[in-house]
Amino acid sequence: MEQIANLHIEKLPEGVYLATSDDIPGLVAQGRTITETLEIARDVAKKLLEAQADITANQFLHV
């Protein structure tokens, strides 16, 4: 299932791009190009959302 999240991307003085999201706490991705940064952000978001789903499922099972 795909979800939409807003990303904030900025170019740092070092020349790399940094992506963060208020929609997905903990999402931080850095890349040499905007495209690379978006790809990394997508992977990080997927892992964070999967981890959150696992935590939620475990909490539900232990109630």
pLDDT in tens, 4-63: 899 999 999 999 999 999 999 999 999 999 999 999 999 999 999 999 876 665 555 555
Q: What pLDDT score was predicted for residue 3?
A: 78
Residue 7's nearest CA partner among 17, 52, 54 is: 17
pTM for the model stands at 0.79
Q: What pLDDT score was predicted for residue 54?
A: 63
Q: Count other C-beta atoms under 10 Å from residue 37's C-beta.
A: 21
Q: What pLDDT score was predicted for residue 59?
A: 58
Q: What pLDDT score was predicted for residue 2?
A: 73
For residue 19, the cross-strand partners are: 9, 29
SS3 34: helix
- The token duo for 20 is 């963060």
